[in-house]
Amino acid sequence: MPAPLVLNSITRADLIALFARLAADPAREARFLDDPAAVLAAELGWDRAQRTSTGNARFVAALRSPGRRADLRTADVPEATTVHSVTTGSTSRISSSTGITATFSTRGVDCGDGPRIDPAGLRLGAR
């Protein structure tokens, strides 16, 4: 029986504390968005070699630009679709044993009177 595949070298408590510090300190948050590896090394002692994400960097730059933020608010983010069936006229969705909501969503964020924004869809779309 193989050992369980669980990666717990960084503790949840440390991450919650880090996120609380980011929430309370805009300068620290800005450093984290510019260079997350450096912040993890400085604050958690997590100094192992890290990849960087050009997609995240592009996305952060877009969020910092007022004009591009406006574009992001109206961006068309595809739902969790896999294929559109011409024969049935139905768009397929990723099913789950908990089904699909017909009335409200736990995903995305309300944005005034506009459509719900989908941060994860926008971020992954920037990759």
Partner 1 sequence: MTAASLVGARKTLSIMPTFTCTAACADCGTLSSPRVRERISLDVILSAITQAHRLGFANVVFTGGEATLRWRDLLAGLSHARALGLPTRLVTNAHWAATPERARDRLRLLRDAGLDEINYSTGDEHVRFVPVERVVNASVEAVRLGLPVVVMVELRRERAVTAATIREHPLVRALGADAALVRTHESAWMPLDPDETADYPAGSTADAATLPARRGCDHVLQTYTVQADGRVGVCCGLGLRTIPELNTATADGGDFLDRAVTAGEEDFLKLWLHYFGPERVLAWAAEKDPSIDWEGRYAHPCQACGRLYKDERVRTVIREHYAEMVAIVLQSAWLDDHYTPRMLAD
| Closer to partner 1 by Cβ: residue 8 or 27 | 8
CB of residue 126 vs partner 1: minimum separation in angstroms? 10
CB of residue 45 vs partner 1: minimum separation in angstroms? 12
Quote the DSSP letter at residue 82.
Answer: E
Query: What Å distances lie between residue 58 and 29, 124, 126, CA to CA?
Result: 17, 11, 7
Cβ atoms of 10 and 46 within 8 Å: the answer is yes
| Closer to partner 1 by Cβ: residue 27 or 51 | 51
Tokens 């779309």, residue located: 125
CB of residue 12 vs partner 1: minimum separation in angstroms? 5
| Closer to partner 1 by Cβ: residue 5 or 27 | 5
| Closer to partner 1 by Cβ: residue 27 or 94 | 94
Other CB atoms within 10 A of residue 32 CB? 19
Cβ atoms of 120 and 126 within 8 Å: the answer is no
CB of residue 27 vs partner 1: minimum separation in angstroms? 14
